[in-house]
Amino acid sequence: MSSLILLLSLGGCQIVQSLLNNPEAALADADAKLKAGDLAGATAVYEEAVKKSPTNVDVASGAAYAKVLGGDFASADAYLAAAEATAAERVGEVKLRRAFVAMEAGDLDKVKEYAAGSALPAGQLIAGEAELADGNRDAAKALFEAAKADPGQVGTTASTYLELMADANPLVAGLSEAQALWALGQRRIAVRSVEDLVKAYADSREDGGDQLLLWAGRAAAVGETAIAYSLLDSITVPPAGQGWRVQATRAIATCVDGEGVKCLELFEAIRPGAPADGYIDARATAALAIAESDPTTARSLVDGMQGDAVARAYAAIGDKAAAAGAAVDPVLKSQFGG
């Protein structure tokens, strides 16, 4: 489970749920605006509410969430910090949300501090990832051991890290660090470290093909096409039902390499055998990767398609009107002016 998923599940959804149960009219108004996609309106209501109740955890969380959506991480953390001192039994929630804000801001030292300080399983997982990314394997192991007691996905993810770290092959064990870097948003660094690691993993694990394909897609998306091709070439038999993804990943890498015509041809060739949602996401991924270098091809990749990934690609091209028209999520649509 990536930390971005945790950010959405523990940041957004819990905040929205807490607001639904809050009797204050101002928060109900902000919640309604947020659900309707009016980020600016919701932010204004939250800002007024936080002036009146700066130590209210729900108010601070809502205001911080809105600020994160708007990219203002300093203000988001300030709101949460003001509420932390009097949060009592909810202090763990506040610290964990501060860790998410720090992650979005790229401050791994703060991620460690707040996530570990939360004493929550999700926080221990995130702190373990940050320690592992810094090469502090003993500290990471202790945090993952604590987190694995969680009965859900957090515990499963922590156990997976521990299994990788304990592998007798140091290359396989090293894959855990690359995974942590990716989860923390250090994507290009993760990809550049992973080629030999994931190949070693594939030599000894049944799901090796899945990992090769996963990391090839990641490499292509961040522009490391040589690594993407190398990993794809190591897949002798595609994972069941994933032959189209192998070809889609090659198409993405071809786009990134500046071969727009060939890129479009490759995508058209795989259209009949690809699932609709996955196919759209793959084209949107390619478009997003080349939005600045080749906006014409990027637009051709997503022309006429719908979805939040498509909207982000249009936004990267600079066409906010098309982005708003393609977006499904109301908050995202609002951000693009829809």
Question: How do residues 241-253 score in pLDDT, each as one tens digit?
Answer: 999 999 999 999 9
Interatomic CA distance for residues 283 and 304, integer angstroms: 12
Interatomic CA distance for residues 137 and 235, integer angstroms: 30
Q: Reply yes or no on whether the pLDDT at 310 is more than 80.
A: yes
**Is 216 inside a domain boundary?**
no
Interatomic CA distance for residues 197 and 293, integer angstroms: 30
Per DSSP, the three-state class of 241 is: coil
**Is 180 inside a domain boundary?**
no
User: What confidence score (pLDDT) does residue 336 get?
Assistant: 78
Name residue, tokens 């600016």.
40
Q: Reply yes or no on whether the pLDDT at 157 is more than 50.
A: yes
**For residue 67, what are the domain limits?**
1-119
Q: Reply yes or no on whether the pLDDT at 6 is more than 60.
A: no
User: What confidence score (pLDDT) does residue 2 get?
Assistant: 45
Question: With contact defined as beta carbons under 8 Å apart, do 63 and 80 qualify?
Answer: no
Q: What is the DSSP string of 171-189?
A: HHHHHHHHHHHHHTT-HHH
User: What confidence score (pLDDT) does residue 338 get?
Assistant: 64
Interatomic CA distance for residues 281 and 27, integer angstroms: 35
What letter represents residue 31's amino acid? D
Distances, alpha carbon 210 to alpha carbons 227, 243, 275, in Å: 16, 11, 17
**Is 149 inside a domain boundary?**
no
The model carries a pTM of: 0.83
Q: What mean pLDDT do residues 61-73 have?
A: 89
**Is 40 inside a domain boundary?**
yes
User: What confidence score (pLDDT) does residue 261 get?
Assistant: 97
**Is 175 inside a domain boundary?**
no
Residue that terminates a domain, selected from 95, 119, 143 = 119
User: What confidence score (pLDDT) does residue 28 get?
Assistant: 76
**Is 151 inside a domain boundary?**
no
Residue that terminates a domain, selected from 101, 119, 137 = 119
Name residue, tokens 């955890």.
57
Instruction: Identify the band that residue 38 occupies on the pLDDT scale cut at 50, 70 and 90.
Output: confident
**Is 275 inside a domain boundary?**
yes
Question: With contact defined as beta carbons under 8 Å apart, do 246 and 213 qualify?
Answer: yes
Helix/strand number for the chain, H first, E second: 22, 0
Q: Structurally, how many domains does the chain consist of?
A: 2
User: What confidence score (pLDDT) does residue 41 get?
Assistant: 86
Interval 197-221: pLDDT, tens: 999 999 999 999 999 999 999 999 9
Instruction: Identify the band that residue 34 occupies on the pLDDT scale cut at 50, 70 and 90.
Output: confident
**Is 218 inside a domain boundary?**
no
User: What confidence score (pLDDT) does residue 242 get?
Assistant: 96
Interatomic CA distance for residues 18 and 310, integer angstroms: 31
Domain of residue 84, CATH code: 1.25.40.10
Interatomic CA distance for residues 136 and 130, integer angstroms: 9
Residue that terminates a domain, selected from 64, 96, 119 = 119
